[in-house]
C-alpha cells in the first residue's frame, strides 16, 4: 500500500516536533555543577513509506568546564579519564554549536517547528544539554525548554521493560553491555529502540490515525498481534 504524503512527512508525525536522540556521559548527576564529558546526537527522518529511520550522527568528547565537579564514582562508572589527551575533547560550546547547526538544518529541511530531545530517562540528558547551552551562552537553542520523549516510558508501555538493555533485548535487538555507557553506543541503541516502537505502532495500524466516531470506542488490539520483538515487517 502506498503511503499518503502526510503520513511520510516527519513534521506531521510529532505535531511539528523534530525528534533528536541524545545521550550524555557526565561527571555526576547535577547538571548545574557536574561536568558534561561526552555527548552524542542522532537526528531522524522518514523514508518514502513513512518508516522512521536514523539520519545524521554527531559525537563529541567534551572537556570539563572551568570549576566543574567530577564525582569519582561517576568516572569509575563511565571509565572516562576527563583529562586524557587521547579523548580529543572540545569545549561545551564547540560541541553544542556543531550539533545545533545540524539540527537547525534538519528542522528547515523537514519543515518542523522545534526540536525535541529523545532519550532514555530523558530528564537527565535534557538537563545537562540545557545547562551546558546556558553556560556556553548559546542563544539559538533548537530544543524545547522542557518537553521530551522518554524511551524509558515508551518501552515500559510497549515492552514491559524500562532499563535500556532489557528493553532492547525485549524488542529483539542486540545489546552489548561492554559497550554501554558510551554516549555514542547508547544513543545508537536508543535510536533503534525508539524507531522500532514508533514503526511497530504504525505496522499495527496505529498510524496514520484512523477516524473514530464520537459514539465509538477505539478497538483494542487483537491478542494475536505479534509482540514488538518479532516485528520483522518493520525496519531494524
DSSP 8-class letter at 218: P
Q: Is 181 a catalytic residue?
A: yes
Whole-angstrom distance, CA of residue 115 vs CA of residue 106 = 9
Which one of 59, 98, 144, 181 is the catalytic residue? 181
- Rounded to 5 degrees, φ, ψ at 24 are -125, 150
Whole-angstrom distance, CA of residue 46 vs CA of residue 14 = 12
C-alpha cell at 131: 545547562
Whole-angstrom distance, CA of residue 211 vs CA of residue 224 = 23
Question: Quick check: helix, strand or coil at residue 119?
Answer: strand
Q: For residue 5, say if its preceding peptide bond is cis, omega within 30 degrees of 0.
A: no
Q: Please give the C-alpha separations between residue 14 and each of 205, 216, 220, 233, in angstroms, as whole numbers.
A: 17, 25, 23, 22
Residues identified as active-site: 181
Amino acid at each position: 500500500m502506498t503511503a499518503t504524503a502526510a503520513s511520510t512527512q516527519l513534521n506531521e508525525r510529532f505535531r511539528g516536533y523534530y525528534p533528536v536522540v541524545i545521550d550524555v556521559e557526565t561527571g555526576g548527576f547535577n547538571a548545574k555543577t557536574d561536568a558534561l564529558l561526552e555527548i552524542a546526537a542522532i537526528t531522524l527522518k522518514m523514508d518514502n513509506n513513512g518508516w522512521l529511520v536514523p539520519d545524521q550522527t554527531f559525537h563529541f568528547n567534551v572537556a570539563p568546564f572551568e570549576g566543574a565537579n567530577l564525582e569519582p564514582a561517576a568516572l569509575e562508572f563511565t571509565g572516562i579519564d576527563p583529562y586524557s589527551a587521547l579523548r580529543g575533547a572540545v569545549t561545551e560550546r564547540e560541541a553544542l554549536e556543531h550539533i545545533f547547526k545540524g539540527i537547525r538544518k534538519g528542522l528547515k529541511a523537514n519543515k518542523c517547528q522545534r526540536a525535541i530531545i529523545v532519550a532514555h530517562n530523558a530528564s537527565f540528558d535534557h538537563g545537562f544539554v540545557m545547562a551546558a547551552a546556558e553556560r556556553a551562552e548559546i542563544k539559538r537553542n533548537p530544543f524545547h525548554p522542557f518537553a521530551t520523549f522518554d524511551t524509558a516510558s515508551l518501552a515500559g508501555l510497549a515492552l514491559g521493560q524500562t532499563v535500556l538493555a532489557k528493553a532492547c533485548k525485549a524488542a529483539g535487538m542486540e545489546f552489548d553491555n561492554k559497550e554501554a555507557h558510551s554516549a555514542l553506543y547508547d544513543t545508537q541503541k536508543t535510536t533503534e529502540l525508539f524507531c522500532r516502537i514508533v514503526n511497530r505502532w504504525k505496522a499495527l495500524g496505529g498510524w496514520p490515525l484512523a477516524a473514530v466516531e464520537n459514539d465509538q470506542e477505539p478497538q483494542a488490539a487483537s491478542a494475536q498481534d505479534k509482540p514488538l520483538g518479532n516485528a520483522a515487517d518493520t525496519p531494524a
